[in-house]
Amino acid sequence: MTWDDEYDVVVAGSGAGAMTGALAAAASGLRTAVLEKTKVLGGTSAYSGAAIWLPGTRVQERAGIADSTESARTYLRALLGDDGAAHREAFLETAPELVEFLEKDPALEFEWRAFPDYFAAPGRLDMGRSFVPLDLPADRLGDLAGLVRPPVDRDRAGRGHAASRPLAQGRALIGRLLLALTATGNGVVRTETPLTGLIVADGRVAGVRAGPLRLRAARGVLLAAGGFEASAGLRAARGVPGGADQTMAPDGANTGDAIEAAARIGASTGLLDQAWFCPGLRTPDGLPAFTLGFRGGLIVDGSGRRFANESLPYDQMGRRMAAAEGPFHLIWDARSGGLPAISVPPLAADGQLASGAWVRADTLAGLAAKTGLPAGTLAETVERFNGFAEKGVDDDFHRGEDPYDRYFSGGRPCVVAVGEPPYYAAEVVLSDLGTKGGLRTDPDGRVLDGSDRPIPGLYAAGNTSASFTGPVYPGPGIPIGSAMAFAYRAVQDIRRNHT
Ligand SMILES: Cc1cc2nc3c(=O)[nH]c(=O)nc-3n(C[C@H](O)[C@H](O)[C@H](O)COP(=O)(O)OP(=O)(O)OC[C@H]3O[C@@H](n4cnc5c(N)ncnc54)[C@H](O)[C@@H]3O)c2cc1C
């Protein structure tokens, strides 16, 4: 067999899971290559807030948070039952060890950040257990800074990082992992090098194809190249609600290449109709802005009625949208002092109004005419909602009763009357942060075939794999935390079992 380049470990993708796996491999002396399809590293992980849900670690301990592996187990078990129990236990066991490993590296620094868990269930922490990376001054990365995907607003506008600003959130996480990987001397990153296939020899995955290149992976291949959120065809075939043009993943890059490549050599898949859902506000370029933390306003369906607690955690709200009939509109008024929610990217009212993505009117009837909503129903809905605001109880959807609902309004009520003109409406679409179905794995990240046997040499993590959380999004940082944990476990398996 002839190879263009030879490595011990080849990692496809460069999100948080991929980079964690690559660092773990390179730090243990394995020659490691990260293959990234686009010009920049980080994918959706770089756009993210980089909340990391890895419970029971030294980060929570340092912050004096009453987190423990046991309470996290109670919480996950309450939400997921014993489905995926072996993965849950592997995840819980790995979290403290992974964070200890990462924090040994001076490039990796984390701190706890308040952000409530998403469900009222035993073991929940009302102010959450997730943590974030510290901002990273760009000069610590030097020339490597240009390799990290910029924040979503600048990226979509084709502008790079603001040179004077530190890398924050997801960029800080990817930048820090890149810094640590580079410092090992054993890791290379190859951008614009998409994985296109897997090479099997002597009954095991021996390498990958990347277009015309054949790259050897003597010890293992880790697939962590995102989901298939940007593939309209795969979404339709698998019944994922939403659309490839409404996902928050960047550049249309996550088209399920790694999942398909593994399926071609006999890998099995699961959970394929699932995503990490969220509401998205339409922006002038037609792309959505991930919107969360509704501290005012109300959301109506195509009939002009409310259909859910608007302040629900975003995945739960997305699922309510998928079950309802659109188009959906957020309605708010002058009293809110601007959009009563957080959007990523941040949206400027002037641009939104000028483009028609938002409309404004002096009366609710005027707003109904501009949005096509039935005027009578809209007026009734707002009147009923305002009654709830006045008495401080949302009889219909119990908005404001959960600590998560009030977190974004600083503990104040989030059911606030809408009655001061002008009124505003913005179209809300069903968006997602990526699909969460994919390759079935065992608790060590080994990809399973149709008979539940591991395919030698092949591993998967992140949205390339079927999430152990099933259709549930337990808390902030689960996508990234679980991607990192299972990528790390995959590399431990490679180290143990493949020479
Ligand atoms: C605004 C925003 C905020 C978020 N905040 C959080 C948060 O705080 N915490 C959290 O846990 N989650 C958060 N999420 C969700 C989370 O970012 C993603 O679900 C997660 O990062 C996906 O990780 P991944 O590694 O599977 O995919 P990605 O991070 O998307 O990485 C996949 C990479 O693989 C590359 N790729 C695709 N195909 C190939 C190929 N054939 N060969 C090589 N490379 C390929 C892509 O270009 C991409 O760079 C957020 C998402 C958004 C949009």
Q: Which atom of ligand 1 lies at the shortest distance from residue 461's CA?
A: 26
pLDDT at 197 over 80: yes
Ordered alpha helix ranges (H), 306-356: 314-323, 349-355
Q: Which atom of ligand 1 lies at the shortest distance from residue 462's CA?
A: 26
Q: Which residues line ligand 1 (CB under 6 A)?
A: 12-18, 35-38, 42-45, 47-51, 194-195, 224-226, 248-249, 253-254, 257-258, 276, 290, 344, 433-434, 462-463, 476-480, 483
Neighbouring residues of 27: CB distance < 8 A, sequence distance ≥ 6: 101, 105, 180, 184, 186
5-273+436-496 and 278-430: same fold? no
pLDDT at 22 over 90: yes
Residue 467 CA to ligand 1 centre (angstroms): 14
How many CB atoms are located within 10 Å of the residue 126 CB? 12
Residue 105 CA to ligand 1 centre (angstroms): 23
Query: pLDDT confidence of 86, banded at 50, 70, 90?
Result: very high
pLDDT at 161 over 90: no
Contact 90, 31 (CB under 8 A): no
Q: Which atom of ligand 1 lies at the shortest distance from residue 50's CA?
A: 8
Q: What is the mean pLDDT of residues 214-234?
A: 98
Q: Which atom of ligand 1 lies at the shortest distance from residue 194's CA?
A: 42
Residue 41 CA to ligand 1 centre (angstroms): 10
Nearest to 306, CA basis, from 362, 389, 245: 389
Cα-based angle 167, 172, 177 (whole degrees, multiple of 5): 135
Q: DSSP of 174-235, one letter per residue?
A: HHHHHHHHHHHSSEEEESS----EEEEETTEEEEEEETTEEEEEEEEEEE----STT-HHHH
Which residue bears the tokens 């337990």? 474
Query: What are the C-alpha distances in Å from 299 to residues 25, 407, 408?
Result: 47, 19, 17
pTM comes to 0.98
Query: pLDDT confidence of 218, banded at 50, 70, 90?
Result: very high
Query: pLDDT confidence of 164, banded at 50, 70, 90?
Result: confident
CATH class of segment(s) 5-273+436-496 = alpha beta
Most distant pair of Cα atoms in the chain: their distance: 75
How many CB atoms are located within 10 Å of the residue 293 CB? 17
Long-range contacts from 109-113, C-beta under 8 angstroms, 24+ separation: 109/133, 109/134, 109/176, 110/52, 110/59, 110/134, 111/59, 111/62, 111/63, 112/59, 112/60, 112/62, 112/63, 112/65, 113/51
How many CB atoms are located within 10 Å of the residue 319 CB? 20
Residues 95 and 58: their CA atoms lie apart, in Å, by 10
Residue 473 CA to ligand 1 centre (angstroms): 15
Residues 499 and 492: their CA atoms lie apart, in Å, by 12
Res 337: pLDDT: 87
Residues 153 and 176: their CA atoms lie apart, in Å, by 21
β-strand pairing of 288-292 with 342-344: antiparallel
Residues 77 and 415: their CA atoms lie apart, in Å, by 32
Beta bridge partners of residue 204, listed in sequence order = 201
pLDDT at 1 over 90: no
In Å, how far from its chain's centre is CA 111? 19
Residues 249 and 245: their CA atoms lie apart, in Å, by 10
Amino acid identity, residue 177?
A: L
Which residue among 40, 44, 246 has the greatest number of ligand 1 atoms within 8 angstroms of its CB, and so is best to mutate? 44
Share the mean pLDDT of the chain. 97
Residue 399 CA to ligand 1 centre (angstroms): 30
Residue 359 CA to ligand 1 centre (angstroms): 32
DSSP state of 463: G
pLDDT, tens only, 238-294 = 999 999 999 999 999 999 999 999 999 999 999 999 999 999 999 998 999 999 999
Residue 4 CA to ligand 1 centre (angstroms): 28
How many CB atoms are located within 10 Å of the residue 216 CB? 21
Residue 43 CA to ligand 1 centre (angstroms): 5
Res 163: pLDDT: 77
Q: Name which residue sits closest to atom 17 of ligand 1, judged by CA.
A: 45
Helix (H) or strand (E) holding 78: helix 69-80
Q: What is the CATH number of domain 278-430?
A: 3.90.700.10
Question: Six-digit token pair at 76?
Answer: 């996950």
Residues 230 and 114: their CA atoms lie apart, in Å, by 31
Residues 257 and 242: their CA atoms lie apart, in Å, by 20
Q: Which atom of ligand 1 lies at the shortest distance from residue 225's CA?
A: 34
φ and ψ of 469, to 5 deg: -85, 0
Q: Which atom of ligand 1 lies at the shortest distance from residue 42's CA?
A: 49
Query: pLDDT confidence of 497, banded at 50, 70, 90?
Result: confident
Residue 311 CA to ligand 1 centre (angstroms): 24
Nearest to 12, CA basis, from 154, 248, 196, 168: 196
Beta bridge partners of residue 190, listed in sequence order = 35
Contact 441, 201 (CB under 8 A): no
Query: pLDDT confidence of 498, banded at 50, 70, 90?
Result: low
Residues 370 and 425: their CA atoms lie apart, in Å, by 9
In Å, how far from its chain's centre is CA 156? 18
pLDDT at 142 over 80: yes
pLDDT, tens only, 416-437 = 999 999 999 999 999 999 999 9
Residue 121 CA to ligand 1 centre (angstroms): 28
Nearest to 283, CA basis, from 313, 335, 246: 246
Q: Which atom of ligand 1 lies at the shortest distance from residue 152's CA?
A: 1
Domain spans of the chain? 5-273+436-496, 278-430
Residue 381 CA to ligand 1 centre (angstroms): 38
In this structure, the dihedral spanned by the alpha carbons of residues 176, 178, 183 and 189, taken in order and rounded to 10 degrees, is 180
Query: pLDDT confidence of 90, banded at 50, 70, 90?
Result: very high
Res 83: pLDDT: 84
pLDDT, tens only, 304-353 = 999 999 999 999 999 999 999 999 999 999 999 899 999 999 999 999 99
Residues 393 and 398: their CA atoms lie apart, in Å, by 7
Which residue among 254, 255, 276, 465 has the greatest number of ligand 1 atoms within 8 angstroms of its CB, and so is best to mutate? 254
Residue 493 CA to ligand 1 centre (angstroms): 23
pLDDT, tens only, 454-490 = 999 999 999 999 999 999 999 999 999 999 999 999 9
Which residue among 480, 482, 484, 486 has the greatest number of ligand 1 atoms within 8 angstroms of its CB, and so is best to mutate? 480
Query: pLDDT confidence of 499, banded at 50, 70, 90?
Result: low
Q: Name which residue sits closest to atom 24 of ligand 1, judged by CA.
A: 226
Contact 212, 245 (CB under 8 A): no
Res 348: pLDDT: 93
- SS3 of residue 19 by DSSP: helix
Q: Which atom of ligand 1 lies at the shortest distance from residue 149's CA?
A: 49
DSSP state of 145: G
Contact 177, 183 (CB under 8 A): no
Res 162: pLDDT: 80
